[in-house]
Amino acid sequence: MFGGAGREYRWKYGTKRETFAKVSQKARKHAANNPYALFTEQLSVEEILAAPEVFDPLTRYQCCPPTCGAAAAILCSDEYAKKKGISKPVYIAAQAMTTDYPSSFKADSMIKMVGYDMSVKAAQQVYEKSGVGPEDVDVVELHDCFTANEVLTYEALGLCKEGEAEKFIEAGDNTYGGKFVTNPSGGLLSKGHPLGATGLAQCTELVWQLRGTADKRQVKDAKVALQHNLGLGGACVVTMYRAD
């Protein structure tokens, strides 16, 4: 389904296959600085495209590895944090969960089927609740189960306009030195996708980023972070975090 969504996106906007491969290349580059990542070997766009095809435009290196893993997050009140002497607290500014819309099944669109509208609506709710827009975000962990979904999610979250993901990627606005650092952990593509633990793994990475403890992959002066996680069947959760 995600391959079909990527193919539909290509037909709609004329996006090059190389553009999807560059997302995987970026994931490996970020993962090289993450000791918890599964795949840290650097790959060229040519190597990614030459890998066995899974479903056009996706090759093997554009599909996440299902893995084992665990993650935990502790939530507490301001009062408790102060009592325990917790420094550099990270706050949940807003969170929203959406489920499938009729368009997931009635729009004759693979893009809609894989949760595009769920992501759009969840992001809109979070921006409204938090009073923070996408332009204020420093770092993002999003659900890159396949490169195609990362491309779609750039647009769903409002990081760029619809149809402009290729331009966004070519400009380097999805990595260090650009507008947003997306998946500094290496994302699901390189860090791994432990399914039930994936959402909290994203949370953990963003908390480290906002505390300034992400070591070599630290996003400079990160104060606002956005998380996006989804599962078909279908639900999407978007969360906005901010540093104190």
Report the C-alpha gap between 58 and 203 in whole angstroms: 27
Please, are residues 217 and 130 in contact by the beta-carbon 8 Å criterion? Answer: no
Please, are residues 226 and 240 in contact by the beta-carbon 8 Å criterion? Answer: yes
pLDDT tens by residue, 42-60? 999 999 999 999 999 999 9
Report the C-alpha gap between 31 and 14 in whole angstroms: 29
pLDDT value, residue 72: 84
Residue 233: which region, alpha, beta or left (left: phi > 0; alpha: psi -120 to 50)?
left
Please, are residues 48 and 62 in contact by the beta-carbon 8 Å criterion? Answer: yes
Q: What is the CATH number of domain 2-243?
A: 3.40.47.10
pLDDT tens by residue, 83-124? 999 888 999 999 999 999 999 999 899 999 999 999 999 999
Sorted by where each begins, the domain ranges of the chain are 2-243
Q: What share of the chain in percent tops pLDDT 70?
A: 100
Nearest to residue 183, comparing CAs of 222, 143, 141? Answer: 141
Please, are residues 54 and 63 in contact by the beta-carbon 8 Å criterion? Answer: yes
Please, are residues 111 and 154 in contact by the beta-carbon 8 Å criterion? Answer: no
